[in-house]
Amino acid sequence: MAKSISYRDAGVDIDQADRAVGSIRKMARATFTKGVLTEIGSFGGCFALPKMRQPVLVSSVDGVGTKLKIAFAAGRHDTIGEDLVNHCVNDIAVQGAKPLFFLDYLATGKLDANIAVAIVSGIARGCRANGCALIGGETAEMPGMYADGEYDIAGTIVGAVEKSRILTGAKVRTGDILLALPSTGLHTNGYSLARKLLFEVAGMTINSLLPGTKTVLADELLKVHRSYLNALTTLVDITSIVGAAHITGGGITDNLPRTLPSGMAAAIKTSSWEVPPLFQLLRSIGQVPEDDWRRTFNLGVGMIVVIPRRKSDAALGALRRAGEKPWVIGEVIRQRRGRSRVEYS
């Protein structure tokens, strides 16, 4: 008689998935806001739009790149989900939107319920902190698709903004002031180069100390990609912001022009801030060319906002009262023929 073969024999453990989903459902429900209309487990998540005169939905989807490799090596999975949420929140917040709901996707070769719960705990924490409901997601177990102990995560966020308050950059003018807000480290970009430099070239390990500090490299590299929602909301509320750029992959060089109208550029004062030690170390290890360094890493700048000059003092004051540490990083100028849209001096 032929041997009976189950789904588990093919590498998929439904019982393990059920255990994970039970815990995930509780964490997701703790993020629910009054707009949520369906329970976790529905085929689709339903959300009632907030009352607005002309609501515009703003959406984004992203992952966390090879920062996952650091989580695998360190065996720490409870913050990577928070990175994911905050990255997505920032991407819609720069257009003036406030997050409404979030959906996550977790894929792995062999599901470990404990790891899955740890990942989603970070997602849920990020959602709660940003007032965003985790209304659904997908956990996919796909034997043979991923190396043992590895997984991938992605997230989709949907937010809303009044049509009249969308930040498009259209109101940016030459002479406007550029205010910077600090990053908390690499955030979620540049990890492929950082891993090559730190581990292959310099021969360091995840447990090495960051030179000149008492910080273990794992702690430094897993610092959570912070949310700038509160800072941007503060500026929107006092109507002193005309544009914003989330400084992610591409650095200031590629991201700041995305909020500047055609024909305009940014003059950045590199002496206005001190680049954190980790970024300086990375450059020195690989003798990384300056242009490449600036386009790979955020260099300690996670967000840049554009403020009309006459409102810059009020904006700085409002941000400081909100607990931020902003600084003037430059100004908007006319783009000069043959010159980059971001000029460093």
The 151-162 sheet, strands edge to edge: 55-63, 151-162, 98-108, 133-141
Q: What's the CA angle centered on 192, arms 188 and 195, to 5 degrees?
A: 100
For residues 58 and 100, the answer to whether their CB atoms sit within 8 Å is: no
Average pLDDT of the segment spanning 197-210: 95
Instruction: Give, in order, the Cα–Cα distances in Å from 246 to each of 20, 53, 243, 324.
Output: 33, 27, 10, 16
Element (H, E) at 279: helix 277-286
Among candidate residues 325, 339, 230, the one with its CA nearest the CA of residue 272: 325
Fold of 12-165: 60s Ribosomal Protein L30; Chain: A; (3.30.1330)
Among candidate residues 86, 303, 65, the one with its CA nearest the CA of residue 195: 65
Question: Which of residues 310 and 7 earns the better pLDDT score?
Answer: 310
**pLDDT at residue number 15:** 67
Residue 275 in tokens: 């680049």
Average pLDDT of the segment spanning 303-321: 96
pLDDT, one tens digit per residue, over 164-197 is 999 999 999 999 999 999 999 999 999 999 999 9
Return residue ranges of the chain for CATH 3.30.1330.10: 12-165
pLDDT, one tens digit per residue, over 110-129 is 999 999 999 999 999 999 99
Among candidate residues 254, 247, 297, the one with its CA nearest the CA of residue 277: 297
For residues 133 and 31, the answer to whether their CB atoms sit within 8 Å is: yes
SS3 257: helix
Pick the range with the lowest mean pLDDT from 15-24, 29-38, 115-124, 207-216: 15-24
pLDDT category of residue 22 using cuts at 50, 70 and 90: confident
Rounded to whole angstroms, the Cα distance separating 262 from 244 reads 15
Return residue ranges of the chain for CATH 3.90.650.10: 177-344
Evaluate if residue 9 carries a pLDDT over 70. Answer: no
pTM metric for this prediction: 0.93
pLDDT category of residue 3 using cuts at 50, 70 and 90: low
Fold of 177-344: Phosphoribosyl-aminoimidazole Synthetase; Chain A, domain 2 (3.90.650)
Evaluate if residue 153 carries a pLDDT over 90. Answer: yes
pLDDT category of residue 21 using cuts at 50, 70 and 90: confident
